[in-house]
Chain A
Amino acid sequence: MEKRLIVSSSPHIRSNITTWGIMLDVIIALIPATGAAVWFFGLRAAALIAITVISSVFFEYIMRKILKRSNTIGDLSAVVTGLLLALNLPPTLPVWMAIVGASFAIVVVKQLFGGIGQNFVNPALAARAMLIVSYGSRMTSWSEPLSDIVSSATPLEILKNGGEMPGLLDMLLGKIGGSLGEVSAIALLIGGAYLFIRQVISWHIPVVFCGTVFILAFVLNPDGFDILYPLYHILSGGLLIGAIFMATDYTTSPMTRKGQIIYAVGCGLLTVVFRLYTNMPEGVSYAILLMNVAVPLIDRYTKPKVYGGGTNV
């Protein structure tokens, strides 16, 4: 018999970038923030993170089985979703609530819409929003870092309601109240730098998002001129984790650079509006979720001009 040769459509070579590799890079980038969470909030935080990740992977596996689809836990996207959800939870949250959150993220937001690449909002953020609606008080009770004292106010609550702000150094390092992964600005920035160097994300969304918040907070500061005020806005709450890790989610952010900039400005604008003009202290997750929904519209109006003069419709 003649030798059998493979015949396929070109190109015959592929780059070594894989979905799995991208997700692994995101996990690596989240290691500093995860480490900071465990350092400041102890073994309880470690357990909460581990259980959220494991249950996310479990729900992914079960849902794919039920829907009779290929097993996708190997692409690590469920690990990323679980990790991001965990890092957006307060340290004192009961474990079962975290599992409810993971099931909502994976089962409802991700798999019922078709799995990876098909969800129209960020699964981790949608789950966080769902948990806030369902278990409001537990989702907003914070603990003092490096101690067991409950009900420490977050810097954003202090900004809104008055009180003594923590020092900038503590905010950079993460010795403040807040969700597990959002407290340490340094850890998040290291992760962001890693993603940028590995070309997993570009600078556009994080920089424009934070820049918009900085400028608007500076201009709209209710107490007048203060350069520290917008800086507090950058370093506190979920802005850095949101801008670096959540708003940059491929599936729920625009395709083109132009679209990404519009989207990031929108995220920043909504964040400031929520923080300053509503009774919520924090608004990053809602800002990103709302802009997620606007992505198809943004994509539609920012299609690139085709070589030779045509426009995509």
Chain B
Amino acid sequence: MKIRSFRGGVHPPQSKNTLECETIKMGIPEKVVIPMAQHIGAPCKPLVKKGDTVKVGQVIGDTESYVSAPVHSSVSGTVTSVDTRIISFNRPITCIEIKPDGLQEVKEDIKPPVISNRDDFLKAVRESGLTGLGGAGFPAHVKLNPPGDTNVDTLIINAAECEPYITSDYRECIENTENIVDGIRAVLKWTGISRAIIGIEDNKPEAIRKLEKASKDFSEITVQSVKTIYPQGAEKILIRTLTGREVPSGKLPANVGCIVMNVTSVSFLASYLKTGMPLIKKRVTVDGSSVKNPANVEVLIGTPIEEVFNFCGGFTTEPGKIIMGGPMMGVAFYSMDLPVIKNTNALLAFSDVHAGLPEETSCIRCGRCVKACPMNLLPFELDRLVRAKLYEEAGQNHILDCMECGSCSYTCPAKRRITQSIRIGKDALKRMANK
């Protein structure tokens, strides 16, 4: 099969140490902390209060807003607090803390949804609590219901998993291959999209083989291997690699006839349609130089990350940096008390040696960032403009099109924090626009 790719990108060490680590289930934690916003869009309002008893799969947060997804309890137990906490991005979020009773009693009304048309399907997707599990956390029912002026002909299933270390999507492909195919067929059936392409990096031959075997009877599903190069799995990049189409600046994939879903998302959808159990658990790759036993762990949503690390044998060396997500785009956290949420796909802990920041020196105009940028931007120039506070000029140079993949900073010989500059510039521009 022809292997496709894109222009630019970088080759960080893959470090996929946990490829062969079969998913192990972690038990019920001491407590779960469930934030009301685990997705892009409006936060949910809590539907329970302190002292209430809740059951597994019970809706504990929801909202009338369209761009949002309900939040469910991952345990049975007693609500011990409903309060505002700072979880990430320094944005206060209402969180529900539950003390599990250990019984894991399932909410009585959980049953497979009955679907007879597209609206039923979209309603079920919303009720499942599904948000994009690849990282961005966009509510799935919104994604599957594109604006009326678009004409979607291709469902892209993102199994590229181009970030180093992370193998949770790979394990999904290996362990739940049938579910992936079932999920794709359900989406195609109810949305009327004619074909699906599974995009997967060619460093995962076993997963490619299994997916091809499972989908061989369905001509509408193609498995397409793509070159292993970061950021192959970025939504806009994968669309171009697989279809040759470019999403115009500020537009949606649907504007070029594509909807992209993460492979674990589509697999979860299949299991929800079969069981009616909403999104309450997540497979997380636990790895990094400080972790004693790297593993793929199935974790209940809301489990504090410290308990997940402890489940993996704790630390061999004191961690200097904790990352939720991959090392290229993941977010560094300041506390081990934070919970695993819906779109957490990896927890990495690095020792001080690996966590330190290299010293920045002057740009030598070598052009490596320009070559690496998959969006064809001029990262060194954006870095310069932002540092000179010339935000509008940076905007004219398409700073807002940057997806913050980090390839420029990764490849820079002067170790300049280009991606960080670009984030600052984007933020400044957005604040100027809101004024």
Contact = CB atoms under 8 A, between A and B. Distances in A.
A130 to B, nearest CB: 23
Interface stretch (B109-117, B260-268, B314-322): B314-322
B406 A310 contact: no
Interface string A244-286: 0000001100011000000000000000000000000000000
Given A115-B362, A118-B362, A10 B413 contact: no
Contact of B378 (A8, A12, A309, A312): A312
A161 interface: no
Contact of A310 (B249, B322, B328): B249
Contacts of A12: 321, 323, 327-328, 330, 332, 348, 350, 355
What 9 A-B pairs are tightest by C-beta distance, nearest first?
A11-B406, A9-B420, A308-B249, A250-B366, A307-B375, A304-B376, A12-B327, A117-B364, A13-B327
A308 B247 contact: yes
A308 B415 contact: no
A123 to B, nearest CB: 13
B332 A251 contact: no
A1 interface: no
A21 interface: yes
B328 A5 contact: no
30 contacts: A5-B321, A6-B332, A6-B352, A8-B357, A9-B419, A10-B323, A10-B406, A11-B329, A12-B327, A14-B358, A14-B412, A15-B413, A17-B413, A18-B415, A19-B361, A22-B413, A118-B362, A250-B365, A255-B370, A256-B367, A256-B370, A305-B376, A308-B247, A308-B249, A308-B251, A308-B375, A310-B398, A310-B401, A312-B398, A313-B396
Interface string B325-336: 001111111111
Interface residues of A, number: 40
Nearest to B369: A255
Interface of A: 2-3, 5-15, 17-19, 21-22, 72, 75, 77, 114-118, 250-251, 255-256, 303-310, 312-313
Given A5-B335, A17-B411, A312-B398, 9 more contacts: A6-B320, A11-B419, A12-B321, A17-B412, A117-B414, A304-B370, A304-B377, A309-B246, A312-B377
Contacts of B362: 72, 114-118
Contacts of B246: 307-309
A235 B83 CA distance: 77
Given A5-B333, A307-B376, A15 B356 contact: no
Contact of A7 (B334, B356, B381, B414): B334
B410 interface: yes
A10 B364 contact: no
Do most interface residues of chain A lie in helix, strand or loop, or is the interface mixed? loop
A310 B251 CA distance: 13
Do most interface residues of chain B lie in helix, strand or loop, or is the interface mixed? loop
B365 A251 contact: yes
A9 B319 CA distance: 17
A19 B414 contact: yes
Nearest to B362: A117
A110 B131 CA distance: 53
A114 B409 CA distance: 22
A264 B332 CA distance: 44
A199 to B, nearest CB: 9
Given A307-B246, A307-B375, A14 B415 contact: yes
Nearest to B407: A11
A99 to B, nearest CB: 26
Given A19-B414, A250-B365, A13 B12 contact: yes
B40 interface: no
Contacts of A8: 321, 332, 357, 420
A117 B410 CA distance: 19
A68 B5 CA distance: 47
A103 to B, nearest CB: 21
B281 interface: no
Contacts of B323: 10, 12
A5 B322 CA distance: 7
Interface string B375-396: 1111011000000000000001
